Amino acid sequence: MSSSMFGTPLPVSTNSPILRRAGSKPVFTEQGHSESGYISEEGFFFPTEGDGMKSGTLPLHSVAIMPSPILLWRLKVLLFLVWGISCCKIGWDSVMRMSTDLQDLFLYEAFLYYNPLLLVTLMVWLWGINLWVFSQSTVNYSKIFDLDHSHLTHQEIWKCATWMTIIVPTSMTAYLYLYSHGEVSLAASQPVILYAVVLMVLIFPFDIFYLSSRYYFLRTLYRIVLPLQAITFSDFFLADILTSMSKVLSDLERSICRMVNRQVATIAWFEADSICGSHSLAIPLVLVFPYLFRLFQCLRQYKDTKERTSLLNAIKYSTAIPVISISALKYHVLHETWTSFLRPLWLMSSVINSSYSFYWDVARDWDLSVFTRIFKFKNPHICTNILYGRQLVYYWVISSNLILRCTWTYKLSAHLRHNYMTVFTITALEIVRRFQWVFFRVENEWNKMTSAKPSIELSSTDDTPKEDERLLGAGSHNI
C-alpha cells in the first residue's frame, strides 16, 4: 500500500477480467486481450502491451489516456447547449438595449441577412436525414443520382450542417451585440464576412472540403440555369428543390443588394422606393427564376422525348408566374384597380397553382399505386414498424402536402412579405414539405428503374457506400 501511494507503478495483469462500462465495447480474445489493442476502465482506453514486452504489468503513468467516445459525445452536447444558450442570452440582451421604436426595424433587417442561411442549414440537416433513410432502406439513391461510391454520406452531410448551425447564429449574435453597443461599422461587417466566407468555400479551387462534391453541385446549378443538354434526374430534382427555396433566393438578393449599396446596419433600405426597398422589381424577378428554370427544363425534356407529360408538367410551373407577377403589381397600380380587379385575379391564380401542384405531387411525382412500398428498410428497424405500410403515414403526407401547398402561395406573394416571422415560418414549413416529398419522389424513381431493368442487378447492398468509406475520390460528387 505504501509503495502505491508514492507513485510506484501498479501491476495490471493482461489476463485479468476487465469489467465493461457503459459506452465501451471491448472484444476479448482467448488470451484476455482486446482486439483493438485497448482495455477499458473507468471510461478511458489504455493500450495493452505489445508482443515484445516481457513483463505482464503496465505502468499507468506511462500510457496515453484517451476519453471514450461516449464521454466525448456528451462533452460536445454540453458545449453545444452552453453555446446555444449564450447566443440567445447575448442576442436578447442586445435587442433589449435598443429603443422600442427601433427594435422591430432592426430585427427585421438582421433577420433578412441571416434567415436565408438559417433556412439553407435546415435544408442540409433534412437532406442528411433523407440520405440516412435511403441508406437504411432498399432504395439505392447512388444509382438514382448517378453518384460515385465515395460521395458524401449522411454523417458527412450532418457534419457540414453542424458547422453551419454554429457559424451562422454566432455571426448573427455578433451583429446584434456590436450594433447595440454602438459599433455600427463592425456590426455591418459581420454579414458581409459571413457571405464572403460561404462564397469562398463554394468556389475554392483546391482539393479540400469536398472539392468534387462542390464542383458537382455548382455544375448542376449551371445545368439548371442553362438547360442546353439532356436533363438528368439530378438536374430537375435540384431544380424542384430550388422552387421551394425561391423565398430564400429572394431574401438573398435583397441582402446582397444592401451590401453592395452599403446599406447594412442602416434603415435607409426600409424606404419603399429605395434601390433595395420593398417595391423593387428584383424581388418578384428572383422569386420567379426557379419556376422559369424548371419550365425550360420541361420544354427541353419534351424536345428530347416528345412525351406529352413534359408539357403538362411545364404548365404546372407556368401557373406560378401569374401568382408572383400579379402580386408585385400591387405597388405599381391604383388601390381601386388592385381591389376590384387584380386581387380577385391573384386569388384565382393562387387556387389554380396550389391545386395543380398538389395533384402533380400525389399522382405523378409520387404515384399512389406504389405507396405501400414506401419506407421499407433492409434490416429490422424501429422506423420500419412506425412507417412501413401504415395508412396513417400516407394520410398525413397527403393532407399536410395540400395544406402547405396552399400556404406556399402566401410566400410567393410579394405584397404579403412584411410579416417576416410568418413568412419565415411558412418557408420553413415548405422546406419540411419538400423533405417529405423527397422520400416519395426518390422511391418512385427507384421503382421505375427496377421495373424497367429487371435483368440488371440493382441491389443497394452492393452499390451503397459503406459508412467507413470517407475519402472522396477524384471522380466523386454529391448532390
The string of pLDDT tens digits covering residues 389-412 is 567 777 888 899 999 888 876 666
Candidates 210, 184, 219, 178; CA nearest to 474 is: 210
For residue 137, which phi and psi values (nearest 5 degrees)?
Answer: -100, -175
* pLDDT band for position 364 (cuts 50, 70, 90): confident
Same domain, 156 and 51: no
Same domain, 44 and 127: no
Same domain, 169 and 254: yes
For residue 397, which phi and psi values (nearest 5 degrees)?
Answer: -65, -45
Q: How far is CA 170 from the centre of its chain?
A: 18
Candidates 245, 242, 235; CA nearest to 145 is: 235
C-alpha 373/C-alpha 318 separation (Å) is 32
pLDDT digits (tens, 9 = 90+) for 51-96: 444 444 545 454 557 778 888 888 988 999 999 999 999 998 998 8
Same domain, 39 and 89: no
C-alpha cell at 454: 429487371
The sheet that has 44-47: what strands, in order across it?
A: 38-41, 44-47, 66-67
Mean pLDDT score of the chain: 78
Q: Which domain holds residue 29?
A: 22-67
C-alpha 138/C-alpha 459 separation (Å) is 8
Q: Is 90 exposed, middle or buried (0-12, 13-18, 19+ CB in 10 A)?
A: middle
At 32 the pLDDT is: 44
Q: Are 152 and 175 in contact (CB under 8 A)?
A: no
pLDDT tops 60 at residue 437:
yes
Same domain, 121 and 168: yes
For Cα atoms 85, 91, 94, give the angle at the middle one, nearest 5 degrees.
Answer: 140
Residue 432 is assigned to a structural domain of this protein: yes
Same domain, 201 and 256: yes
Candidates 98, 100, 109; CA nearest to 271 is: 109
Residue 5 is assigned to a structural domain of this protein: no
Comparing 287 with 276, the larger pLDDT belongs to 287
Most confident range (mean pLDDT) of 29-33, 374-378, 406-410 is 406-410
Comparing 163 with 102, the larger pLDDT belongs to 163
Residue 82 is assigned to a structural domain of this protein: yes
Same domain, 310 and 350: yes
Residue 479 is assigned to a structural domain of this protein: no
Same domain, 416 and 282: yes
* pLDDT band for position 268 (cuts 50, 70, 90): low
Residue 14 is assigned to a structural domain of this protein: no
C-alpha 295/C-alpha 231 separation (Å) is 12
Same domain, 162 and 215: yes
pLDDT tops 60 at residue 10:
no
At 469 the pLDDT is: 42
Residue 399 is assigned to a structural domain of this protein: yes
pLDDT digits (tens, 9 = 90+) for 115-128: 999 999 999 999 99
Unique residue bearing C-alpha cell 460521395: 151
Same domain, 62 and 192: no
Residue 439 is assigned to a structural domain of this protein: yes
pLDDT tops 90 at residue 237:
yes
How many domains, in total, are found in the chain? 2
Same domain, 53 and 104: no
Residue 474 is assigned to a structural domain of this protein: no
pLDDT tops 50 at residue 40:
no
Least confident span in 129-138, 188-197, 424-433, 455-464: 455-464
Sign of CA dihedral 427, 433, 434, 435: positive
Q: Which residues pair with 47 in a beta bridge?
A: 38
Least confident span in 114-118, 133-137, 256-260, 308-312: 133-137
Same domain, 88 and 179: yes
Mean pLDDT of 274-281: 77
Comparing 101 with 143, the larger pLDDT belongs to 143
Q: Are 297 and 238 in contact (CB under 8 A)?
A: no
What's the predicted TM-score (pTM) here?
Answer: 0.77
At 112 the pLDDT is: 86
At 270 the pLDDT is: 58
Select from 7, 36, 67 the last residue of a domain: 67
C-alpha cell at 418: 412584411
At 107 the pLDDT is: 82
